[in-house]
Amino acid sequence: MTRGVHNRILRVDLTSGTTTVEERDDHFFRHYMGGWNLIADTLLREVPRGADALGPENRLIFSGGILAGIALSGASRSAVGAKSPLTGGFGVGESGGGFGAELKRCGYDAIIVQGQSEKPVYLWITAERVEIRDATALWGKVTKETQEAIAAEVGEPRVELAMIGPAGENLVRYACVMHGMKDAAGRSGLGAVMGSKRLKAIAVHGSINITGVDSDKLRSVARTMATDVREGRRAGGMAKWGTGADQVGMIATGNLPTRNFRDGDFDPEEARAISSMDFMPKYGLGMEGCWGCAVRCKKVVKFEGEYEVDPDYGGPEYETLGSIGSCCGVGDIAAISLGSQLCNAYGVDVIGAGVNIALAMEAYENGLLTQEQTDGLELKFGDGRVMVELIEKICRQEGIGKLLADGPAKVAEQIGGDAWRYAMAVKNQAFPAHEPRFKRALALGYAVSPTGADHMHSLHDAGLQNPDENGFLANGTLRSMGLLEPVPLESLGPDKVRLHTYTTIDRALQNSMLVCNFVPYTFEERAEIINAATGWDMSPIEMFKVGERAITLARVFNLREGLTEADDRLPERSYGPTRNGALADGGIDREELHEAVHLFYGMMGWDEETGIPTRGKLEDLGIGWAARYLPRR
């Protein structure tokens, strides 16, 4: 029997070139689990206020989940966190793949990296050893080259890597940490932090068999989920088409971002061409999945001809199709797939790249950028070749790429004029490919997110107006939390704020225990598998507090770093309609959103005016120590 928690954190000091192991107790991991909570706790306690995100004082934290290493669908995710060089606040990204499982099989729950190395290095970690190895020969290589070189050097073809490409080395502010060649901890610019530390990769290969305390229960839940997925009762069509199945339907609702979220008239034939139901039968080689997961949701594509696309880099997810596709006016699936490959190879957030390219295209269209400034390129919406070339320039920080290597708000400042109106970002982090003028809860979610605009820990409220046969809210997960009444799609009133608040807490819980949103465990099932893995007797209410704790600690860190209530707002474009299409009479009501933000503060137990957590709430969550990091009210 090997429990799901080792109570061991590996600390790596790159300045001194030393490693140590820190023992934590069950109380620590039961209180925090991992992910968001462990990251926020470390950042608050160890990173000085105002520290340079790209300096040696920042911490880079890798955290596997408490279920990682157990053959259970959706349980192999891992989180990466640091002070973000993009937002200046709490930075975190989650990723699938096999890194989290292999880290746990090495005997560690997390890794904390501090300091800076004088030369490029990588970590080689097994259950028996931790080595800091020279990576000088790897610096400058893309992810596939890095994967192959390290696998050959350590003599283990199954090694799992968390690594950066040239974008992280070149300190692109939205560079990501790639887990293998297909899975990205994409947001917050964590690849730039890794690059600043001259840490090219962390290579892990474990040999510890993680069975949990009650392996029979874990096998039973795993079989039930796998059967439900196979027979279509859970996870929908995810295993067949992955994300981005039907972009034509997205046009009808206005949810497909078009030409920098300005328009609503993307050509239906092009939308069909970038829908996985259309391109996978033509160009797909099959579907893959994460370590131990029955939901095979990851597309693999291959193209030949004008755009050569290597299937080793997987295929485009919905965020890719929306960001470097329709948001840039591009409807060529081959060009989008090559752009996806480049983002994975160079290690850059595809959302950040796409939204910045769309911003540049709109600025060029309106005369705010000239061909002299764009290296002779005509930045026209719809030009797939230009989109591909700009990704490479950004990742290399060459020419116009230097301008586009920061978040949209900073890029717009440098362009000047009215470019600020085109910057689709919150806290300098680019909008994901979901439209808050359609999904009104996302307006609140993007505004108050501690990491800037993010779709993964917010409520997507399409469908929440639908009742079941008894008149209750049809969404079973929300109903199990006592949210019983359907709420109109266009509402941003108290009922919608409550739905958002509970959902955000639930998503923060998932990002602390690190399970996938696409694998829909009930609250009761989550309690069962946590307790079976650890031997705890955790209840759903205790789990709920884990999520609440994570959001609140992230808020405390942001407040300490100077972010305030004034940063919890949307970009100007969101308050008006699109030029045409389904949202031509749309737009978020500014005052209504303002009221929703402050009501959310109150529901979280924070001061309704300032968003500063109250002492009572901090003590309620068992984190009263965090009060010393708060600004005075």
CA-CA distance, 194 to 399, in Å (whole number)? 24
Domain range 440-629, CATH class: mainly alpha
Residue 606: name the closest of 590, 588, 621, 628 by CA: 621
Per the DSSP assignment, residues forming a β-bridge with 303 are 309
Average per-residue pLDDT in the chain?
A: 95
3-state secondary structure of 44: helix
Report the pLDDT value the prediction gives residue 239, as an integer from 0 to 100. Answer: 79
CA-CA distance, 163 to 181, in Å (whole number)? 9
Residue ranges with strand state E in 232-391: 284-288, 298-301
pLDDT, average across residues 539-562: 97
| Dihedral (Cα; 588, 589, 592, 594), 10-degree rounding | 80
Report the pLDDT value the prediction gives residue 137, as an integer from 0 to 100. Answer: 98
Q: Residue 550 pLDDT > 60, yes or no?
A: yes
CA-CA distance, 337 to 331, in Å (whole number)? 11
- The CA-atom distances, in angstroms, between 509 and each of 32, 65, 69, 543 are 9, 11, 19, 7
CB atoms within 10 A of CB 469: 6
Residue 13: name the closest of 80, 79, 109, 112 by CA: 112
77, 513 Cβ separation under 8 angstroms: no
State which amino acid sits at residue 18: T
58, 193 Cβ separation under 8 angstroms: yes
- Is 214 buried (19+), middle (13-18) or exposed (0-12) by CB count in 10 A? middle
Dihedral of CA 458/462/464/465: which sign?
Answer: positive
As annotated, the residues of the chain forming the CATH 3.60.9.10 domain(s) are: 8-204
Read off the DSSP letter of residue 199. Answer: E
104, 79 Cβ separation under 8 angstroms: no
- Is 113 buried (19+), middle (13-18) or exposed (0-12) by CB count in 10 A? buried
Report the pLDDT value the prediction gives residue 157, as an integer from 0 to 100. Answer: 97
CA-CA distance, 357 to 382, in Å (whole number)? 11
Report the pLDDT value the prediction gives residue 633, as an integer from 0 to 100. Answer: 62
Report the pLDDT value the prediction gives residue 464, as an integer from 0 to 100. Answer: 87
Of the candidate CATH numbers 2.40.160.20, 1.10.569.10, 2.40.30.10, 1.10.357.10, the domain formed by 237-425 belongs to 1.10.569.10
Residue with tokens 């009808």: 252
CA-CA distance, 412 to 418, in Å (whole number)? 8
Domain 8-204 of CATH type 3.60.9.10: yes
Residue partners of 288: CB distance under 8 A and separation at least 6: 182, 296, 298, 300, 314
pLDDT, average across residues 547-575: 98
Q: Which range, of 16-20, 184-188, 253-257, 483-487, averages the lowest pLDDT?
A: 483-487
As annotated, the residues of the chain forming the CATH 1.10.569.10 domain(s) are: 237-425
As annotated, the residues of the chain forming the CATH 1.10.599.10 domain(s) are: 440-629
pLDDT in tens, 47-82: 999 999 999 999 999 999 899 999 999 998 999 999
pTM of the full structure:
0.97
pLDDT in tens, 162-216: 999 999 999 999 999 999 999 999 999 999 999 999 999 999 999 999 999 999 9
Report the pLDDT value the prediction gives residue 489, as an integer from 0 to 100. Answer: 87
Question: Which helix (H) or strand (E) is 204 found in, with range?
Answer: strand 199-204
CA-CA distance, 376 to 373, in Å (whole number)? 7
Report the pLDDT value the prediction gives residue 570, as an integer from 0 to 100. Answer: 98
CA-CA distance, 306 to 374, in Å (whole number)? 23
> Confidence class of residue 272 from pLDDT cuts 50, 70 and 90?
very high
Q: Residue 1 pLDDT > 60, yes or no?
A: no
* pLDDT above 90: percentage of residues in the chain: 89
